[in-house]
């Protein structure tokens, strides 16, 4: 059998200037790379340039390319990230008592529909330990109260680090992370909020939506920051509703939207298609 040629994904951002595409493609050519997929975006409001390239480089290892990039990037003020496209992203999932998003992620993971490796599930309740066991994923029950929050987050972070997790997914985890914990997870923690942000932040958004008589309900996947429900938005979607529906109806309809939105955000993150642009994101779908 002929060994597969290594495939890599390079993402980068830097101040915009003439010749960047030529410079980057020329660098990859020097490394023996063959570009298979490329996308770029110039943000004229900030003067920043963003780029994602998928390429093969049969003569280079990941470490050799990283070393070469560390020498190539500084003169152009490039911030970069390089990944092996064939390596699933190590992931830890947080959940509370609503399991639809967790169940969806586990199914997609085991079905090979998401390039992630779910290594642990952390919950402040015991509800889903059997679900975790059915997928052979370790389950950690860590109760969280106002009195033990610091100790609980320290244990959670210990698990994240111990599993080598590069992605943390808050799949309807109904606890507010501390500022310190949020900062530790910056850029690698995705939350699903059950409303179309910036509308209806905080608790019970379906109740808020019902009280306002909205005709659309939505879900938002965003990166976690210290500001509640204010992180850079990755993906959103909506479902049409009307006056005849109860809060329970809105909640049931919203579950499907939440699961789909979160799955898309996790897929794009794990395929290295997202770059953070201040309070926004650039998503090369």
Rounded CA-CA distance 76/25 in Å is 14
Residues 152 and 168 in one domain: yes
Cβ–Cβ < 8 Å for 35, 48: no
Determine the pLDDT at residue 202. Answer: 73
Q: Which of 43, 84, 229, 249 is catalytic?
A: 229
Q: How many domains does the chain have?
A: 2
Question: 203 Cβ partners below 8 Å, 6+ apart?
Answer: none
Determine the pLDDT at residue 196. Answer: 78
* Residue where a domain stops, chosen among 84, 106, 128: 84
Is residue 249 annotated as part of the catalytic site, yes or no?
no
Token pair 């410079």 in the structure block, residue = 23
> Which three-class secondary structure string do you get for the chain?
CCCCCCEEEEEEEEECCCCHHHHHHHHHHHCCCEEEEEEEEEECCCCEEEEEEEEECCCCCHHHHHHHHHHHCHHHCCEEEEEECCCCEEEEEEECCCCHHHHHHHHHHHCCCCCEEEEEEEECCCCCHHHHHHCCCCEEECCCCCCCHHHHHHHHHHHHHHCCCCEEEECCCCCCCCHHHHHHCCCCEEEEECCCCCCCCCCCHHHHHHHHCCCEEEEEEEECCCCCCCCCEEEEEEEECCCCCCHHHHHHHHHHHHHHHHHHHHHHHHCCCEEEECCEEEECC
Structural domain containing residue 40:
7-84
Cβ–Cβ < 8 Å for 218, 239: yes
Q: What is the pLDDT of residues 93-136, one digit of tens each?
A: 999 999 999 999 999 999 999 999 999 999 999 999 999 999 99
Q: What is the pLDDT of residues 58-98, one digit of tens each?
A: 999 999 999 999 999 999 999 999 999 999 999 999 999 99
Determine the pLDDT at residue 3. Answer: 52
Residues 106 and 232 in one domain: yes
In a domain, 162, yes or no: yes
In a domain, 1, yes or no: no
Residues 22 and 57 in one domain: yes
Residues 79 and 95 in one domain: no
* Residue where a domain stops, chosen among 59, 84, 109: 84
* Residue where a domain stops, chosen among 28, 61, 84: 84
| 6 vs 69: which has the higher pLDDT | 69
Q: What is the pLDDT of residues 32-44, one digit of tens each?
A: 999 999 999 999 9
Q: How far apart are the first and last CA of the chain?
A: 32
Among 222, 217, 254, 253, smallest CA distance to 235 is for: 222
What is the chain's mean pLDDT, rounded?
95
Residues 147 and 17 in one domain: no
Strand partners, 120: 92
Q: Which of 93-102, 153-162, 190-199 has the lowest mean pLDDT?
A: 190-199
pTM (predicted TM-score): 0.94
Q: What is the pLDDT of residues 202-244, one digit of tens each?
A: 778 888 888 899 898 899 999 999 887 789 999 999 999 999 9
| 165 vs 197: which has the higher pLDDT | 165
Residues 54 and 126 in one domain: no
| CA atoms 252, 254, 256, 258: torsion sign | negative
Q: What is the pLDDT of residues 241-284, one digit of tens each?
A: 999 999 999 999 999 999 999 999 999 999 999 999 999 999 99
């Amino acid at each position: 059998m002929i060994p597969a040629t290594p495939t890599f994904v390079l993402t980068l951002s830097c101040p915009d200037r003439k010749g960047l595409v030529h410079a980057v493609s020329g660098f990859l050519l020097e490394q023996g790379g063959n570009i298979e997929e490329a996308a770029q975006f110039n943000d004229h409001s900030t003067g920043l340039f963003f780029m994602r390239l998928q390429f093969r480089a049969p003569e280079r290892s990941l470490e050799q390319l990283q070393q070469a990039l560390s020498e190539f990037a500084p003169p152009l003020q490039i911030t970069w990230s390089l990944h092996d496209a064939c390596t699933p992203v190590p992931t830890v999932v947080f959940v509370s008592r609503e399991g639809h998003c967790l169940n969806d992620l586990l199914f997609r993971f085991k079905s090979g529909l998401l390039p992630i490796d779910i290594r642990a599930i952390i919950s402040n309740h015991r509800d889903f330990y059997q679900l975790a066991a059915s997928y052979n994923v370790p389950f950690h029950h860590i109760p969280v109260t106002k009195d033990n929050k610091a100790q609980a987050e320290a244990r959670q972070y210990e698990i994240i680090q111990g599993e080598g997790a590069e992605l943390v997914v808050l799949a309807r985890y109904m606890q507010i992370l501390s500022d310190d914990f949020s900062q530790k997870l910056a850029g690698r923690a995705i939350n699903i909020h059950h409303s179309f942000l910036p509308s209806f932040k905080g608790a019970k958004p379906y109740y808020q939506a019902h009280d306002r008589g909205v005709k659309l309900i939505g879900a938002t996947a965003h990166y976690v920051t210290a500001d509640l429900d204010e992180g850079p938005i990755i993906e959103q979607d909506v479902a049409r509703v009307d006056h005849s529906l109860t809060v329970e109806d809105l909640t049931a309809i919203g579950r499907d939207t939440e699961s789909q939105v979160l799955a898309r955000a996790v897929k794009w993150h794990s395929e290295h298609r997202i770059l953070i642009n201040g309070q926004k994101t650039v998503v090369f779908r």
